Amino acid sequence: MQQILKTGRRIVNLRDAVFDPFEEEVGTGILQLNPDAPRGTGFYIYRMEPGASSSPHHHLGAEEFFMIEGELIDNDGTIYRAGDIVWLDAGTEHNSTSPGGCTIVVFSEKGEVPAMKAGVE
C-alpha cells in the first residue's frame, strides 16, 4: 500500500477550525475540506452564530444533516436539536434560524440556489 500524499489528505480539528463565510449570510460559516467539490455540495460542516439565519433557498438535490450542537428552527416551526438526523428531499425550499447558534454536519447532493431562482439550474 502506498503512503497518502500530503495533498491527498486534509485534517482540521473542529475546535480550531476556521470557517469561511457562507454566501451572503451574516453569522454563518462553512468548513468544506474537499477542494474538488463545488462549494456547498458533498460533505461539509455548517455553523451558525447565535441569532443567525440562513437565506431562503431551494435544494437542487437531497440534503441530509446531523445536528452536532445547538438548535435550528425551520421557517415552518420545526425545531432540530443536537443529535437529530434530518433528510430533506430535492426541491425542498426553506430557511432556518438559530437563536443560540448551532453546528451541523451536512451532506448535500447538488447544492442549493436562492429560493427566488428555483426555476433556474
Reference 99, options 80, 84, 86, 116; nearest CA is: 80
Element (H, E) at 18: none
Q: What is the CATH number of the domain that holds 67?
A: 2.60.120.10
Residue 86 resides in a domain: yes
Residue 5 resides in a domain: no
Read off the pLDDT of residues 42-96 as tens digits, 9 standing for 90 and up: 999 999 999 999 999 999 999 999 999 999 999 999 999 999 999 999 999 999 9
Q: What is residue 121's predicted lDDT score, i.e. its pLDDT?
A: 41
Residue 37 pLDDT exceeds 90: yes
Query: Model-level pTM?
Result: 0.88
Phi, psi for 17 (deg, rounded to 5):
-65, 145
Domain boundaries, position 51? 19-117
Residue 65 resides in a domain: yes
Number of domains, the chain: 1
- Tracing cell 448535500 back to the chain, one arrives at 108
Read off the pLDDT of residues 5-25 as tens digits, 9 standing for 90 and up: 988 999 999 999 999 998 778
- Tracing cell 438548535 back to the chain, one arrives at 71
Reported confidence tier of residue 118, pLDDT bands at 50, 70, 90: low
Residue 9 resides in a domain: no
Q: Judge contact between 45 and 105, C-beta under 8 A.
A: yes
